[in-house]
Structure 1
Amino acid sequence: MSQQPKTIHWGIIGLGKIANKFATDLQAVPNCELHAVASRSEEKANTFSKKYNAKVTYTRYEDLAKDPKIDAVYIATPHSFHKAHTILCLNNKKAVLCEKPFAMNSQEVDEMITTAIDNNTLLMEALWTYFLPHYHYAIKALKDKLYGDVLKVEADFGFKPKMDMSSRVLKKELGGGSLLDIGIYPIFAALSTLGNPKSIDANATFFDNGADATCDITFTYNNNIKAYLKSTLLEETATQAIFYCEHGTITLNSRFHEPTTVTLVPNNGKEETIDFDYTTIGYNFETTHFNQLIRDNKTESDIMSFNFSKTLIQTLDTVRHKIGLSY
């Protein structure tokens, strides 16, 4: 008789929009449960706790980090708090799944990883796209050269939020603006498929508060292969990732960073769209992976590795330098 996998008890710090999505999908993951939630707002904590059946509610993040029953903490606070809240939990020997971007810059990410290593405790950046089945399919198709070598990549992400400059998405001090919030996804699409570019060019437009409104980025690789990447908070865009290959195209359809379909178009053949029959929002895939890492006593993911997170934040730092954006 096979042994039942260890139940993983989760805590969530920061109870905004993404935390709601994460908690919804947590209910679809076997052998884990939401043990505790924490918000500075007692009302928000109580409402969230009731909605998702958390056992305990905290109004101090420190109290959640010290709860002995918690195995893993999902950090969904604004970008500028990721480092502090991650280190708080790691120093209390809690495995940490921290929302993307991992932190505000490379220095902060290095501190987080060093703390995880010093505490021999699992840490992973929660870039959920890397764990979605359609994305795995696309990476394998490109690696196997389904249509030969990649010649060009185009990836974009654009939406038009309510123009409230005090909101997390637009507030510069919190890491708001298009680059860190959504530009990370097109950049991720290029890095995870083509690797590090030889050179990076970028330009941006800005809101009056200094946060970037749009960012256009070009990665150049060997053999003049290019990735054209775009993020914008001024308009809705297709939000696709298209890989132009020697003998056809592979398109991750809108919105490519979340559960979607993949369309294959060979140069001399019939178009085919593959549906992956998603039944969840999509956060369950990274959670399932993370839970297994805990059960296997791992301290680092083999998919979303420390090296990849470092490369991602270093690339974001380079783009920020190119467009003259500092926090």
Structure 2
Amino acid sequence: MEQMHNWGIIGLGGIARKFASDLQDVTGANLYGVASRSPEKAQDFATELNVEKAYGSYEALAKNPEVEIIYIATPHVFHAEHTRMCFEQGKAVLCEKPMAMNATQLKTMIHASKEKALFLMEGLWTNFMPHLQKVHQLVREKTYGECLKVEADFSFKAEFDSEKRLFNKDLGGGALLDIGIYPVYLALKLLGPPQDIEVNCEFSSTGVDISNQIDFKYASGATAQLSSSFAKTTPSKARIHFEQATVELGSRFHETDQLDIQTNAGLDQIDFSYPSHGYQFEIKHVQTCLEKGLTQSPDWPLDASLELMETLDKIRELMGLVYKEDKSKS
């Protein structure tokens, strides 16, 4: 008999809406409740997506004994606080990326997860998508030899507004943590942590990075050229250079369903088309982990999230980008 998992969502922005839409198509997943600090917003969201319960506070949702796992989709400055709140109520947590503001925060979250024996995973959905699973396989099995170079960019033109999250330092704004995390993730996943990092960036008047160029160098001779920006719209593609092939991930590489593999024998195009936003792969994986009684994912373990966060910390240190959470080390 199929096991049913009651999900809750706190923070009801655009990502939460896409996530909720995909969740409703996953076998064994039930979106039981949603919460916003605005009761009206919660009710509108619940009505639109046919969700049973709507809450005007995050705590009220977390306290409901019917809810098994909560997806945290609030701005990342609140992730540590909201994860602790969910753990206090005995809930498993899928926390949207980046899981924390810095590695110090993340370590406290990981410690709490282990102390309470509750599941915790960073919602880096890209890791579970079919095209990335294929790329991981090519690297793991050395299908085309060693991976020599990773090029990845994620950029879009965002209208400047000092109050909006993207540019608001108090809300963890900046290109690196919002979208630059995807190119950095890709390099770490395929090449591991770099021996050396070089960074060039441009800041907005609010003190956050609006664009950055990051270069990773490895002892093996491998390299990664990574970029992200709110100042321009680009195809946001990625290329992975192997000894015997070049693999291109289609536009918006973090969620594409297209892979082009160029070898001496010609071009092989792979279409992983799926009728959704792509969050279902992550959701299915989390449910499998819960059914196995796991407290972390074997495919995106907490150590991987910590390595990613520590790398982002190093990049920010080179940028000179400091958030209030870095000073408090909460």
Same fold (TM over 0.5): yes
- Asked whether the equivalents of residues 147 and 190 of structure 2 are also in contact (C-alpha less than 8 Å), the reply is no
**Paired amino acid for 1:258:** E
**Paired amino acid for 2:275:** T
Match of 1:97 among 94, 99, 111: 94
- Asked whether the equivalents of residues 151 and 240 of structure 2 are also in contact (C-alpha less than 8 Å), the reply is yes
Q: Match for residue 156 of structure 2?
A: 159
Q: Mapping of 1:303-318 within 5 angstroms?
A: 303-318=299-314
Q: Once the 2 structures are TM-superposed, how far is the Cα of residue 277 of structure 1 from its aligned partner?
A: 2.0
Q: Distance in 1 between matches of 2:242 and 2:191?
A: 12
Q: Distance in 2 between matches of 1:152 and 1:22?
A: 32
Q: Distance in 2 between matches of 1:28 and 1:55?
A: 16
Q: Distance in 1 between matches of 2:274 and 2:144?
A: 26
Q: Match for residue 287 of structure 1?
A: 283
Q: Distance in 2 between matches of 1:60 and 1:153?
A: 43
- Asked whether the equivalents of residues 259 and 278 of structure 1 are also in contact (C-alpha less than 8 Å), the reply is no
Match of 1:137 among 131, 134, 137: 134
- Write the deviation string for residues 76-116 of structure 1: whole angstroms up to 9, x where unpaired: 00010000001100121100000000010001101111111
- Asked whether the equivalents of residues 130 and 257 of structure 2 are also in contact (C-alpha less than 8 Å), the reply is no
- Write the deviation string for residues 264-308 of structure 1: whole angstroms up to 9, x where unpaired: 000x22111100121111001100000111111110100110100
- Asked whether the equivalents of residues 214 and 227 of structure 2 are also in contact (C-alpha less than 8 Å), the reply is yes
- Asked whether the equivalents of residues 249 and 256 of structure 2 are also in contact (C-alpha less than 8 Å), the reply is no
Mapped pair 1:320 → 2:322: no
Mapped pair 1:204 → 2:172: no
Report the secondary structure of 2:167's partner residue: coil
Match of 1:271 among 263, 267, 271: 267
- Write the deviation string for residues 243-281 of structure 1: whole angstroms up to 9, x where unpaired: 112122011111110132110000x22111100121111
Q: Distance in 2 between matches of 1:34 and 1:162?
A: 33
Larger mean Cα displacement after TM superposition, 78-87 or 218-227: 218-227
Q: Distance in 1 between matches of 2:221 and 2:24?
A: 46
Aligned Cα root-mean-square deviation (Å): 0.9
- Asked whether the equivalents of residues 155 and 230 of structure 1 are also in contact (C-alpha less than 8 Å), the reply is yes
Q: Distance in 1 between matches of 2:99 and 2:166?
A: 16
Q: Distance in 2 between matches of 1:291 and 1:143?
A: 25
> Which stretches in structure 2 are left out of the alignment for 5+ residues?
324-330
Q: Match for residue 327 of structure 2?
A: none
Q: Match for residue 172 of structure 1?
A: 169
- Asked whether the equivalents of residues 91 and 115 of structure 1 are also in contact (C-alpha less than 8 Å), the reply is no
Match of 1:301 among 280, 297, 304: 297
Q: Distance in 1 between matches of 2:281 and 2:241?
A: 27
Q: Mapping of 1:248-259 within 5 angstroms?
A: 248-259=245-256
Q: Distance in 1 between matches of 2:296 and 2:241?
A: 33
Q: Once the 2 structures are TM-superposed, how far is the Cα of residue 48 of structure 1 from its aligned partner?
A: 0.3
**Paired amino acid for 2:91:** K
The alignment covers a number of residue pairs equal to: 323
Report the secondary structure of 1:191's partner residue: helix
- Write the deviation string for residues 176-208 of structure 1: whole angstroms up to 9, x where unpaired: 110000000000000011111111111210000
Mapped pair 1:225 → 2:222: yes
Q: Match for residue 22 of structure 1?
A: 19
TM-score, reference length from structure 1: 0.97
Q: Distance in 1 between matches of 2:112 and 2:158?
A: 35
Match of 1:44 among 41, 44, 47: 41
Larger mean Cα displacement after TM superposition, 14-23 or 59-68: 59-68
Larger mean Cα displacement after TM superposition, 122-131 or 48-57: 48-57
Mapped pair 1:7 → 2:4: yes
> Which stretches in structure 1 are left out of the alignment for 5+ residues?
none
Mapped pair 1:67 → 2:68: no
**Paired amino acid for 2:313:** D
Larger mean Cα displacement after TM superposition, 142-151 or 227-236: 142-151
Q: Once the 2 structures are TM-superposed, how far is the Cα of residue 240 of structure 1 from its aligned partner?
A: 1.4
Q: Once the 2 structures are TM-superposed, how far is the Cα of residue 146 of structure 1 from its aligned partner?
A: 2.2
- Asked whether the equivalents of residues 13 and 73 of structure 1 are also in contact (C-alpha less than 8 Å), the reply is yes
**Paired amino acid for 1:273:** Q
Larger mean Cα displacement after TM superposition, 148-157 or 176-185: 148-157
- Asked whether the equivalents of residues 27 and 33 of structure 1 are also in contact (C-alpha less than 8 Å), the reply is yes
**Paired amino acid for 2:39:** E
- Asked whether the equivalents of residues 34 and 52 of structure 1 are also in contact (C-alpha less than 8 Å), the reply is no
**Paired amino acid for 2:270:** I
Q: Distance in 2 between matches of 1:25 and 1:13?
A: 16
- Asked whether the equivalents of residues 22 and 276 of structure 2 are also in contact (C-alpha less than 8 Å), the reply is yes
Q: Match for residue 111 of structure 1?
A: 108
